[in-house]
Structure 1
Amino acid sequence: MTDDVPPLVLDIDGTLTDSDGRLDPRVFRYLPTWEAPVVLATGKAFPYPVSLSHYLGIGKNVIAENGGVVLADGTVSYQGDTDRAAAAAAEFVERGGDLGWPAFDDANEWRRTEIAANRSADEELLRTVAAEYGLEVVDTGYAYHVKTPGVEKGAGLTSVAETLGLDPEAFVAVGDSVNDVSTFRAAGRSYAVANADAPARAAADIVVERTYFDGTAAVLDSLVSE
């Protein structure tokens, strides 16, 4: 890390993307040249942020599945009860629920610590079944995540920071969803892009004026100019 810019912890969907969910190409200009660690923190399954880190040419420091999987400095750790989440999902389907994904379920194919359901799924039934299994459901605005309580991105950031020999409060966080709230609390400074949901906006130190990666780019530009 240099004294010029802080380490970053960045959400992906809604933060590094455009309004159609596509990765903003400017990410390839900003992140590979960032002169401090960059941590990608997402609700997506583990391979997604690892692959993105690879193609960006940055260190593979990632928090996936809402904190369920953490990779830092070549060390992987898993949190959450995968079997219980899978059992709850099966029970949900048995009671007439539908996870809402196509035949090839890429949302869950590589997921290791939780189960994700499309937001078209029966939320009330999903929450009922999850509670019976001692699990919680988090609506990120992109999917319903059936997960172990207490497993959060913020705990993942604390773990990554420790592995990298950094203080979590040295990090600047940018995100857009309720699952970023714990990250905002763990990091030293936090920004919500303008498209963020109400919990993220309330938890962030600053809500930027611009949406999606336009907002994130504005934050990164401001950090460079400090």
Structure 2
Amino acid sequence: MDTPSVPDDAPPLAVDIDGTLTDDQRALDPRVIPVLRAWPAPVVVATGKSMPYPVALCEFLAIDQLVVAENGGVVVAGRDTVRIEGDREGANAVAAAYRDAGYGLGWGEADLVNRWRETELAVAREMPLEPLVEIASEHGLDVVDTGYAYHVKSPSVDKGSGLDVVAAELNLRSEAFLAVGDSENDVPTFEVAGRSVAVANADDLALAAADHVTAASFADGFLEAVERFAAP
């Protein structure tokens, strides 16, 4: 798919990264860069990744740093507002208990996936899920499968609550946003946004929750969503 033009009256956008702006190898599709840079309304990058990743993406795209990271656990609304919403102590306790039970997190000794994480824990999907869910439950936390990792998070936050925070900081309503994503952790964003689009590779929960599903997958699906649904 060619890079679509962006309408001047496009609505605010909330977009996931992995599986939505990327290809099937998790590489950022270069065609999304001019779209995001040209977007005339606020763009909120909503992801399960830790804060440095989406902040860096915004920095290198030269767009405002509007970020929902760690599935709502960390919210960035420009250079002056960083809010920590999740349960860091609980996530650390789950990590310790999971290791004590004989399981690793699956990312190697350096663990760059969790190194900068503020509020949640990410575990590789190759690791046992059942004991992780049990330990997380004992600490009052949930486990969300994003298709790329198991995320242990506070039940009080999600991407939807994070979008609410950013929208309020921008004096906008969450209902004004177009949301695009691919996973069950995008469902809360779909629920608060005015319109939601799941790319074709999305999991069953995201497909069921979205207002629309694209014919194309991954970044091709995002570009299709922009072309079809960007008008207010």
Q: Same fold (TM over 0.5)?
A: yes
After superposing on structure 2, the runs of 4+ consecutive aligned residues of structure 1 that deviate more than 4 Å are none
Q: Is the 8 A contact 1:9 1:173 kept in 2?
A: yes
Alignment identity in percent? 54
Aligned partner letter, 1:53: C
2:34 to 12, 29, 37: 29
CA shift for structure 1 position 132:
1.0
Aligned partner letter, 1:43: G
Distance 2:187 2:156 in 1: 13
Structure 1 214/3 Cα, relative in aligned 2: closer, same or farther at 3 Å? closer
2:224 to 214, 218, 221: 218
Aligned to 1:95: 101
The reply to whether residue 134 of structure 1 matches residue 120 of structure 2 is: no
Q: How does 1:98-113 map to 2 (within 5 A)?
A: 98-113=104-119
Q: How does 1:160-199 map to 2 (within 5 A)?
A: 160-199=166-205
Q: TM-score, normalised by structure 1?
A: 0.97
2:22 to 17, 26, 49: 17
Identify unmatched segments of 5+ residues in structure 1: none
Q: Is the 8 A contact 1:176 1:197 kept in 2?
A: yes
Distance 1:225 1:22 in 2: 27
SS in structure 2 of the partner of residue 116 of structure 1: strand
Coordinate RMSD, CA, aligned? 1.3
Aligned to 2:69: 64
Q: Is the 8 A contact 1:62 1:72 kept in 2?
A: yes
CA shift for structure 1 position 177:
0.1
Aligned to 1:82: 88
Structure 1 29/45 Cα, relative in aligned 2: closer, same or farther at 3 Å? same
Aligned to 1:150: 156
Q: Is the 8 A contact 2:11 2:231 kept in 1?
A: no
Q: Tell me: higher relative CO, structure 1 or 2? Use CA pairs within 8 A at least 6 residues apart.
A: 2
Identify unmatched segments of 5+ residues in structure 2: 1-6
SS in structure 2 of the partner of residue 31 of structure 1: helix
State which drifts further: 74-83 or 13-22.
74-83
Aligned to 1:52: 57
CA shift for structure 1 position 3:
6.7
Q: TM-score, normalised by structure 2?
A: 0.94
Aligned to 2:4: none
Q: Is the 8 A contact 1:15 1:193 kept in 2?
A: yes
Aligned partner letter, 1:27: V
Q: How many residues are treated as equivalent by the alignment?
A: 225
Q: Is the 8 A contact 1:97 1:125 kept in 2?
A: no
